A = this chain, B = another copy of it.
Amino acid sequence: MKATALAGSNIAFVKYWGALDPEAHLPLNNSISLTLDQANTLVTIEFSPHIGHDVVELEGRMAEGRVRARVVRFLDELRRLGGSGDHARVASKSTFPVATGLASSASLFAAMAVAGLAALGLAPSEREVTTIARLGSGSAARSVCGGWVEWVAGGRHEDSYAYTLRPADWWPLRDIIVIVSEAPKESPSLAGHAAARSSPCFLGRLARAHQHLALVRTAVLTRDLEALGTVGEEEALLLHAVTMTADPPALYWLPATVAVMRQVWQWRREGLPVYFTLDAGANVHVFTTPEHTPQIATSLCAIEGVQRTLVCQPGGAPVPGDVHLF
């Protein structure tokens, strides 16, 4: 009744922003992402009749309030699936700063789904696991799959699932995560999804997302970095255009976020194949080829306000952990 799983975070090239059903995390558009190999969350879950109440320890600290309630709600879902009435103990440990716009809820709930289902002795299909993980966090559906992943919007729970478009070894791209802040962001993503519709940019973004999907699918299948990068930047700027014009507005960027984006554009003007994208946070993902990665990662670290970088390759699906966190 105890199991551990390690799942990678992911970065979206067509974003999920704004929900059809915010409770079930049903999105309004399909999205496409890359699962990452060096931004991971390890989760151990134990269900036991000897545990008196759910114990949720995230990143070494007891979770409280809204965060704990979200995890417990997900445990309830797992218990319902497993026909279990047991309380659980959960612990997580990530290799990257959480709640900073690096999709830590994606890797957390993907790992929780995989570990939790294993702990309950359940073995659903990968497609089913993606829908279950989605109940914890929308983008967690994508982190259940390895490599280049599409999350199909669907319209009801069982139809909103993710699948691997192409596996991790399809295209040796590098994602340099540029960390400009390790502080939890002021506006959580769930509040952002709820506010998104109030932005005058929302419907325009949604229409554009459907065009972007076709472009990104083709870019992945043909390994076209320019096409992928161009859309990835447009999607990032559109997402932030929506957040900063929503009610209430959210400006996730820090000064260094702008410095990194401008530097990427400057490098492109100089001929380097390098592109940025961001989710809802201040930290930036910078994409380039393996050969340009060392030089670009070093130069990024020299930008004022950049704390460190984390170089990722395409990552695989979650794996069982052989050592438990407790």
A residues adjacent to B (C-beta < 8 A):
199-205, 207-208, 233-234, 237-238, 240-242, 244-245, 249, 251, 253-259, 261-262, 265, 304-305
Given that A241-B201, A245-B237 are contacting pairs, would A262 and B251 also be in contact in the complex, using a CB cutoff of 8 Å? yes
Q: Is the CB of A234 within 8 A of B249?
A: yes
Whose C-beta in chain B lies nearest to the C-beta of A242? Answer: B241
Q: Which 9 A-B pairs have the closest CB atoms?
A: A200-B204, A255-B255, A241-B241, A201-B201, A200-B208, A237-B244, A255-B259, A255-B258, A241-B245
Complex Cα distance A304/B207, Å? Answer: 39
A257: chain B residues at CB < 8 Å are 258
Whose C-beta in chain B lies nearest to the C-beta of A202? Answer: B204
- Measured CB to CB, the closest approach of chain B to A251, in angstroms, equals 6
A256: chain B residues at CB < 8 Å are 255
Q: Is the CB of B241 within 8 A of A244?
A: yes
Complex Cα distance A204/B201, Å? Answer: 6
Complex Cα distance A253/B207, Å? Answer: 26
Whose C-beta in chain B lies nearest to the C-beta of A239? Answer: B245
Among A201, A204, A257, A261, chain B packs the most CB atoms within 10 A around the CB of A201
- Measured CB to CB, the closest approach of chain B to A205, in angstroms, equals 6
A261: chain B residues at CB < 8 Å are 251
Complex Cα distance A278/B200, Å? Answer: 18
- Measured CB to CB, the closest approach of chain B to A43, in angstroms, equals 34
Complex Cα distance A241/B239, Å? Answer: 10
**Can you show 28 pairs from A to B with CB atoms below 8 A apart?**
A200-B205, A200-B207, A200-B208, A201-B238, A202-B204, A204-B204, A233-B249, A234-B245, A234-B249, A237-B245, A237-B251, A238-B245, A241-B241, A241-B242, A241-B244, A241-B245, A251-B261, A251-B262, A251-B265, A253-B258, A254-B258, A254-B262, A255-B255, A255-B256, A255-B258, A255-B259, A255-B304, A257-B258
Among A253, A256, A258, chain B packs the most CB atoms within 10 A around the CB of A258
**Other-chain residue from B238, B240, B259 in contact with A200 (beta carbon distance below 8 A):** B238
Complex Cα distance A245/B240, Å? Answer: 10
Known: A241-B242, A257-B258. 12 other contacts (CB 8 A): A200-B205, A201-B201, A203-B204, A204-B204, A237-B245, A240-B241, A241-B244, A251-B258, A251-B261, A251-B265, A253-B258, A254-B258
Complex Cα distance A200/B251, Å? Answer: 19
A240: chain B residues at CB < 8 Å are 241, 244
A244: chain B residues at CB < 8 Å are 237, 240-241
